[in-house]
Amino acid sequence: QSVLTQPPSASGTPGQRVSISCSGSSSNVGSRTVNWYQQLPGTAPKLLIYSDNQRPLGVPDRFSGSKSGTSASLAISGLQSEDEADYYCAAWDDSLIGLVFGGGTKLTVL
């Protein structure tokens, strides 16, 4: 059971907008910034969003992050087949004194 809660799966058709949620608590998402990672099949994770809504250089602006209270979201607009991957949220937890991840969301592009 992960500290951060994500839906196990999400799907969309090319061109659609999809959103993935990440629910936490006051000791993590509610008080710390959220980061998002993309893991393509068979590869290492890649930082997608940091500090709730910032994109590292090279990440397309189709990817965006937001946060409200103890919940965060990753949105992908203009869905493409190459976006098919696992997506993870993560945040520092002040109670556990460690980093916590969501269980991951497998995104399928139909």
Partner 1 sequence: EVQLVESGGGLAQPGGSLRLSCAASGFTFSSYWMTWVRQAPGKGLEWVANINQVATAQYYVDSVKGRFTISRDNAKKSVHLQMNSLRVEDTAVYYCARVGYNGWESQDWGQGTLVTVSS
> Which residues contact partner 1 (rule: CB under 8 A)?
2, 32-35, 37, 39, 44-47, 50-51, 54, 56, 86, 88, 90-92, 96-104
Task: Name the residue nearer to partner 1 (CB basis): 14 or 56.
Answer: 56
CA distances from 75 to 14, 84, 94, 109 (A): 14, 14, 26, 14
Is residue 65 within 8 Å of residue 34, measured between CB atoms? Answer: yes
Which one, of 38, 40, 42, 12, lies nearest residue 90 by Cα?
38
Smallest distance, partner 1 to C-beta of residue 107, A: 14
Smallest distance, partner 1 to C-beta of residue 12, A: 21
Beta-bridge partner residues of 106: 9, 86
Task: Name the residue nearer to partner 1 (CB basis): 19 or 53.
Answer: 53
Smallest distance, partner 1 to C-beta of residue 45, A: 6
